[in-house]
């Protein structure tokens, strides 16, 4: 299914708040879509004027729904262009290609309690969790840290039972993360999705509170990671030398010259794009390779990682 | 010494406190405690003694330096103690167990029911190699098996004790040894002393 494409059509666009856009996608031929589980994402192929963007978005439609996929996209000021494209150029009726839904962030079924912490638009994977838990009746709590002005935007997707707590940056409204994490019962699984700094803060606080790493799950978002110094890469099997620009990823550069590289999450998490590295010094930015694999310098994840200096030679 | 060629067989660890934990519970099967062992455990767990509880099962040995010590008569009381714990266990708690294999898995299972995950539990095997055997025919459980085959406590069949372990049941698979020719069984040998 990696590599197989879905043909979708934009059925509706709704602006929820400044910079937050809800998009409803249906199959272009009106057929039923492949079902997706809680926490799944969709990778959209967005044909911009100068380049093609492939961005992954969490599905917020209830798990298993086959009539439509729904996503919420925040416009990122320093966007690589994907979110700007969705906010400025996407119209109802447009056709898009997408991969099949993938899932790198599923809830753990054996958990006795699910604790979710979201930062801003990081709430999106949890909207599908909530729909799932409403059916499974799993014990759960959601804490959302966001702008005060956006706390009511997600209300249509939240359960009436009030298991969601909103926090924002004002005295008495901030989330006390260490206190929250210290008070959790055995059997709890923690999920965090937010900006990198918040993810790190939560993961660190969990370790301090004695959480076993196997109970802590994180989904990274934000693709600002993919840019950096320009460098060159040589694809040894294809015999192509490619220039990787400052604001494109190695994977995007490889795709630009027409070499098909396997990929799934495009965020350094899934491991699908791991490519043998023959020469060069990589700057690893992924969350997939182990410290030993990183040190060996023989694999690279081209969706996020780049060259530390000069030139890389890939077995591709 | 336990040894198996089966890769999926659990392996056991030396007990030492996980300093990342915020509470520590040590559960010890009394009959497996050799002279001096409690003192050596007290030394090992000294860094967390103020947060340590010890449940000593089926032994009245005095235990110094092992935090708050409870004496429990039998494994059934450990299972009850987990099920009835009113304060509840936290995600930062750690459980350490010493004993025979059936004891380890009885404790781990009872703890798992109240939420302990694998990352919070350390098991240390010591004492007898005796096995709990699960009958594939009647699903009955036969305890304290030390021989290569044994009569099932449920259906009476002669069960060959296989080296095939279930974490969920805390038991080894037992299959009928004389299904082809009833009564034709090999010599009985003590293989799990």
* Residues B115 and B27 both lie in one domain: yes
* Residues B85 and B108 both lie in one domain: yes
| Chain mean pLDDT for chain B | 92
Q: Is residue A105 included in any domain, yes or no? A: no
**C-alpha closest to that of B18 among B40, B48, B42, B39:** B48
* Residues B89 and B169 both lie in one domain: no
Q: Is B21 within 8 Å of chain A by CB?
A: yes
Nearest to B120 among A182, A183, A212 (CB): A212
* Residues B95 and B45 both lie in one domain: yes
The pLDDT confidence band at residue A258, using thresholds 50, 70 and 90, is confident
B89 chain-A contacts, CB cut-off 8 A: 185-186
Q: Are the Cβ atoms of B91 and A213 closer than 8 angstroms?
A: no
Q: What is the DSSP string of A245-308?
A: -TTS-HHHHHHHTT-----SSSSSSS-TT-EEEEEEEEE---SSS-HHHHHHT-EE-TTT-EEE
User: Are the CB atoms for A141 and A115 separated by under 8 Å?
Assistant: yes
pLDDT tens sequence across A179-201? 999 989 999 999 999 988 899 99
Q: Is residue B185 included in any domain, yes or no? A: no
Element (H, E) at A136: helix A124-136
Q: Are the Cβ atoms of B120 and A112 closer than 8 angstroms?
A: no
pLDDT of A80 higher than 70: no
**C-alpha closest to that of A265 among A66, A40, A15:** A40
Q: Are the Cβ atoms of A184 and B93 closer than 8 angstroms?
A: no
Nearest-neighbour CA in chain A from B21: distance (Å): 5
- Cα nearest neighbour of A115 on chain B: B91
- Cα nearest neighbour of A211 on chain B: B92
Distance CA A273, CA A255 (A): 12
ipTM of predicted assembly, 2 dp = 0.82
Q: Is B92 within 8 Å of chain A by CB?
A: yes
- Its pTM stands at 0.82
Nearest to B115 among A182, A185, A211 (CB): A185
* Residues A169 and A126 both lie in one domain: yes
- Cα nearest neighbour of B89 on chain A: A186
Q: Which of A99, A131, A152 is the endpoint of a domain?
A: A99
Look up the domain containing A145 and give its range. 113-220
* Residues A132 and A166 both lie in one domain: yes
Name the maximum alpha-carbon separation found in chain A. 60
Q: Which of A158, A187, A220 is the endpoint of a domain?
A: A220
Q: Which of A187, A191, A204 to mutate to test the interface with B (most CBs of B within 10 A)?
A: A187
Q: Are the Cβ atoms of A186 and B22 closer than 8 angstroms?
A: no
Distance CA A33, CA A68 (A): 7
Q: Which of B87, B106, B125 is the endpoint of a domain?
A: B125
B167 chain-A contacts, CB cut-off 8 A: none
The pLDDT value given to residue B9: 87
Q: Are the Cβ atoms of A182 and B22 closer than 8 angstroms?
A: yes
Nearest-neighbour CA in chain B from A186: distance (Å): 4
The pLDDT value given to residue B87: 73
Nearest-neighbour CA in chain A from B2: distance (Å): 28
* Residues A10 and A88 both lie in one domain: yes
Q: Is A177 within 8 Å of chain B by CB?
A: no
Q: Are the Cβ atoms of B115 and A182 closer than 8 angstroms?
A: no
* Residues B120 and B140 both lie in one domain: no
Q: Are the Cβ atoms of B91 and A209 closer than 8 angstroms?
A: yes
B118 chain-A contacts, CB cut-off 8 A: 214
The CATH number of the domain holding residue A188 is 3.40.50.80
The count of structural domains within chain B is 2
Mean pLDDT of A228-243: 89
* Residues B165 and B89 both lie in one domain: no
The count of structural domains within chain A is 3
Chains A, B: CB contacts under 8 A, how many? 56
Cα atoms found within 13 Å of the Cα of residue B149, Cβ hemisphere only: 16
The pLDDT value given to residue A226: 57
The pLDDT confidence band at residue A224, using thresholds 50, 70 and 90, is very low
User: Are the CB atoms for A286 and A207 separated by under 8 Å?
Assistant: no
Distance CA B67, CA B24 (A): 9
Q: Are the Cβ atoms of B22 and A210 closer than 8 angstroms?
A: yes
A213 chain-B contacts, CB cut-off 8 A: 119
B23 chain-A contacts, CB cut-off 8 A: 210
Q: Is B88 within 8 Å of chain A by CB?
A: yes
Q: Is B114 within 8 Å of chain A by CB?
A: yes
* Residues B111 and B153 both lie in one domain: no
* Residues B121 and B137 both lie in one domain: no
Q: Is residue B191 included in any domain, yes or no? A: no
pLDDT tens sequence across A20-70? 999 999 999 999 999 999 999 998 988 887 777 888 899 999 999 999 999
Look up the domain containing B52 and give its range. 23-125
Q: Which residue has the higher pLDDT, A304 or B16?
A: B16
């Amino acid at each position: 299914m990696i590599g197989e494409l879905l043909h979708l059509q934009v059925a509706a666009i709704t602006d929820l708040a400044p910079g937050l856009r809800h998009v409803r996608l249906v199959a272009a031929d009106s057929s039923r879509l492949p079902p997706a589980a809680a926490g799944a994402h969709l990778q959209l192929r967005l044909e911009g004027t100068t380049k093609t963007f492939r961005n992954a978005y969490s599905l917020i439609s209830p798990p298993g729904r086959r009539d439509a996929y729904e996503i919420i996209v925040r416009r990122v000021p320093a966007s690589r262009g994907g979110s700007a494209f969705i906010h400025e150029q996407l119209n109802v009726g447009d056709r898009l290609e997408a991969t099949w839904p993938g899932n790198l962030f599923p809830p753990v079924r054996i958990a006795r309690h699910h604790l979710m912490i979201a930062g801003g638009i990081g709430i999106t994977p949890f909207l599908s969790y909530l729909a799932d838990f409403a059916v499974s009746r799993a014990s759960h709590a959601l804490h959302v840290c966001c702008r005060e002005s956006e706390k009511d935007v997600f209300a249509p997707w939240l359960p009436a039972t009030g298991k969601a707590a909103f926090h924002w940056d004002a005295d008495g409204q901030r989330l006390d993360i260490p206190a929250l994490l210290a008070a959790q019962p055995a059997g709890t699984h923690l999920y965090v999705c937010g900006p990198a700094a918040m993810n790190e803060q939560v993961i660190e606080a969990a370790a301090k509170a004695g959480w076993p790493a196997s109970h802590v799950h994180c989904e990274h978002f934000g693709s600002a990671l993919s840019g950096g110094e320009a460098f060159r890469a040589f694809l040894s099997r294809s015999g192509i030398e490619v220039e990787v620009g400052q604001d494109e990823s190695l994977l995007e550069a490889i795709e630009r010259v027409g070499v098909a590289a396997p990929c799934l999450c495009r965020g350094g998490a899934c491991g699908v794009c791991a490519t043998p590295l023959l020469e060069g010094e990589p700057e690893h930015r992924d969350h997939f390779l182990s410290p030993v694999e990183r040190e060996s310098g023989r694999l690279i994840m081209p969706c996020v990682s780049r060259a530390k200096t000069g030139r890389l030679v890939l077995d591709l | 010494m336990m040894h198996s060629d089966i890769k999926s067989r659990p392996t056991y660890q030396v007990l030492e406190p996980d300093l990342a934990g915020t509470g520590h519970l040590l559960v010890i099967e009394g009959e497996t405690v050799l002279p001096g062992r409690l003192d050596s455990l007290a030394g090992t767990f000294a860094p967390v003694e103020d947060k340590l509880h010890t449940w000593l099962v089926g032994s009245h040995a005095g235990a110094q330096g092992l935090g708050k010590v409870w004496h429990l008569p039998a494994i059934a009381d450990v299972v009850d103690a987990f099920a009835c714990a009113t304060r509840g266990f936290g995600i930062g708690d750690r459980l350490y167990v010493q004993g025979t294999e059936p004891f380890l898995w009885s404790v781990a299972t009872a703890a798992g029911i109240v939420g302990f995950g694998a990352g919070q539990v350390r098991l240390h095997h010591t004492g007898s190699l005796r096995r709990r055997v699960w009958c594939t025919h009647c699903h009955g459980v036969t305890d304290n098996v030390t021989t290569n085959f044994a009569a099932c406590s449920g259906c009476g069949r002669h069960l060959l004790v296989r080296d095939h372990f279930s974490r969920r049941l805390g038991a080894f698979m037992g299959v009928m040894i004389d299904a082809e020719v009833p009564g034709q069984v090999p010599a009985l040998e003590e293989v799990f002393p």
